Amino acid sequence: MTAIALRIESDQFDDAFFEAIDEQITKAPQLLLDAPLVLDFSKVPEFADSAALADLVAKLRTRNMLVFGVQNTTDPQLEAADGLGLIPVRIGRDGPAPEAKPARKSKVDRLLPPDNKVITKPVRSGQLVVAERGDLTVIGPVSSGAELVAAGNIHVYGPLRGRAMAGCHGDEGGRIFCRALHAELLAVAGLYRTSESIEDELRGKAVQIFLKDERLCVEALG
Amino acid sequence: MTTQLKDEAPLGRIVVITSGKGGVGKTTSAAAISAGLAQQGYKTVVIDFDVGLRNLDMIMGCERRVVFDFINVIQGDARLKQALIKDKRLDTLFILPTSQTRDKDALTQEGVETVLNELKEEFDYIICDSPAGIERGAQLAMYFADEAVVVTNPEVSSVRDSDRVLGLLSSKTQRAEKGDGEPVKARILLTRHDQSRIDKGEMMTVDDVLEILAVPLLGIIPESQAVLRASNVGTPVILDEPSSAQTAYKDAVSRLLGEEIEMRIESERKPGLFQRLFGRSA
């Protein structure tokens, strides 16, 4: 349940105070009318006048604000609130703490410098090479059963017989380049093609693979 | 590694014979290569890592002389000297058979290392006959290797498995993990090569295989009746009657020893680019 906290800043509940509240209600009726409300005493630790408190609660309730609790109270304040039907609310401890958002982490990742990878040995069947941030360049063959994954582009100076996935974090501008296309699977930003759907005339050719209008295009180079 | 003087310390070089795929000729090749090295005067031991599927001793023709095995030595039940079987034909050749009743979990990395270190003190070449697959047994067989002979048939699944094994050799071995010095020197031994089937398009050509695997070629062993015959009588091909397979294995052994020998295939085909490139460095 979401409740609104009304933080009391003075122990004088004069007309100006209620005028300010009425103004808030006119500004945001959906938020405040019929809203569950908690009184926050953190700014007024000395205030413990039960009559004034009862008056405040009554006046708030006439404005259709459903005061039901108090928070950040001292013991005398709790006593003053006693009998007004207000429950002490502890803040922020009942529900599980919200988890750190992964979105923030990826933002940090993006701020890190790119980390391009260059592999000068053959990438063999069963091997997985990932360039988490940046381009992946392989100088040598990539065997069938091997996987290349990069956040950016993938370059293969040799035959590409395995799988290549560029733009793995969703970069639609990622491209794959290879000297000789025999790939099992090609993907850019999650859109993929298997070797079955690659035109025969492009097989074995030097090609680039890129996204155009949400379509994965394979184009001969040179 | 040119000449071997009797007084010199042993070379202590560990060579793994591996493939990934089963039935391509690892054990036959291990037997032939170790016999070939021994024939050239190098003190050689061949170890069977295929725990539970003991075959090497049969191909070497010493299965009736097995008392203790590799696992007994690892577990401390026997001394290495007790388990080593001396070949009757060559006095520089020894066999360390494996257990038929245990499985590959009986192999431990520490145990294997201890045994290999002890063998290094005495032998020039230690040939490890790997089991098929890429599991524990195969990984332990290759872990301490200095050199690897990857046995491959000219056929797609065998080539792909060999490729996987080459990947493991460059990542899951002691040399790879240390990262300094030389990586494991891997070469391809192409077995069951049948020119007539290649001509019919039923098998991959040597060039195709080498282009995919991109490592030097150690030798090409033709498909031959002599291989099966030799296995059945328990004689390594190299010690059996002359055959084309025998010549091919002898050439492979010489290349393993660092000699430069022209790649001889029973073929009119001109050697391709890869062959010329790798044939030279082999």
Kindly provide the ipTM of the predicted complex, given to two decimals: 0.70
Q: Which of B178, B148, B144, B147 is nearest to B162 (CA)?
A: B148
Unique residue bearing structure tokens 């195969």 = B138
Q: For residue A128, which residues of chain B lie inside 8 Å, CB to CB?
A: none
Q: Angle B156-169/B206-213 helices, nearest 10 degrees?
A: 30
pTM passes above 0.80: no
Q: Choose the mutation target among A125, A139, A182 for the interface with B, i.e. most B CBs under 10 Å.
A: A125
Torsion, Cα of A168, A173, A177, A183 (10° steps):
40
> pLDDT-derived band of residue B279, with 50, 70 and 90 as boundaries?
low
Q: In this complex, is the C-beta atom of A182 within 8 Å of any C-beta atom belonging to chain B?
A: no
Q: Which of B167, B165, B183 is nearest to B175 (CA)?
A: B183
pLDDT digits (tens, 9 = 90+) for B160-201: 999 999 999 999 999 999 888 889 999 999 999 998 888 898
Q: Is the pLDDT at B2 greater than 70, yes or no?
A: no
CB environment A186-220: b (16+ within 10 A), e (fewer): bbbbeeebeeeebeeeeeebebbbbbeeeebebee
Weakest-pLDDT range from A12-21, A93-102, B117-126: A93-102
Range B149-155 average pLDDT: 96
User: Which chain B residue shows the shortest CA-CA distance from A160?
Assistant: B212
Q: In this structure, what token pair is assigned to residue B139?
A: 């990984």
pLDDT digits (tens, 9 = 90+) for A159-203: 999 999 999 999 999 999 999 999 999 999 999 999 888 899 999
Q: Is the pLDDT at B272 greater than 80, yes or no?
A: no
For the sheet with A147-150, list strands across it: A128-131, A147-150, A163-166, A185-188, A191-194
A185 and A193 Cβ atoms separated by less than 8 Å: yes
Q: Which of B164, B170, B212 sits opposite A121 (nearest CB)?
A: B170
Q: Which of B161, B171, B214 sits opposite A122 (nearest CB)?
A: B214
Q: Which of B258, B257, B262 is nearest to B276 (CA)?
A: B262
Helix, strand, coil share (%) of chain B residues, nearest 5: 40, 15, 45
Assign A43 to helix, strand or coil.
Answer: coil
Nearest chain B CA: its distance from A97 CA (Å) = 42
Which residues of B lie closer than 8 Å to A, measured between beta carbons? 160-161, 163-164, 166-168, 170-171, 211-212, 214
Task: Give the span between the Cα atoms of B245 and B227, in whole angstroms.
Answer: 7
DSSP A160: E
pLDDT digits (tens, 9 = 90+) for A184-196: 999 999 999 998 8
Q: In this structure, what token pair is assigned to residue B83?
A: 């388990």
User: Which chain A residue shows the shortest CA-CA distance from B164?
Assistant: A125
pLDDT digits (tens, 9 = 90+) for A73-126: 777 777 777 777 778 777 655 555 555 555 555 555 557 788 899 999 999 998
Q: Is the pLDDT at B271 greater than 70, yes or no?
A: no
Q: In this complex, is the C-beta atom of A205 within 8 Å of any C-beta atom belonging to chain B?
A: no
Q: What is the bridge-based pairing of β-strands A136-139 and A117-119? A: parallel
Q: For residue B214, which residues of chain A lie inside 8 Å, CB to CB?
A: 122, 140-141
Alpha helices in chain B (DSSP H): 26-39, 56-59, 70-74, 80-83, 109-120, 136-143, 156-169, 174-178, 195-199, 206-213, 225-233, 244-256, 273-281
> pLDDT-derived band of residue B108, with 50, 70 and 90 as boundaries?
very high
A216 and A204 Cβ atoms separated by less than 8 Å: no
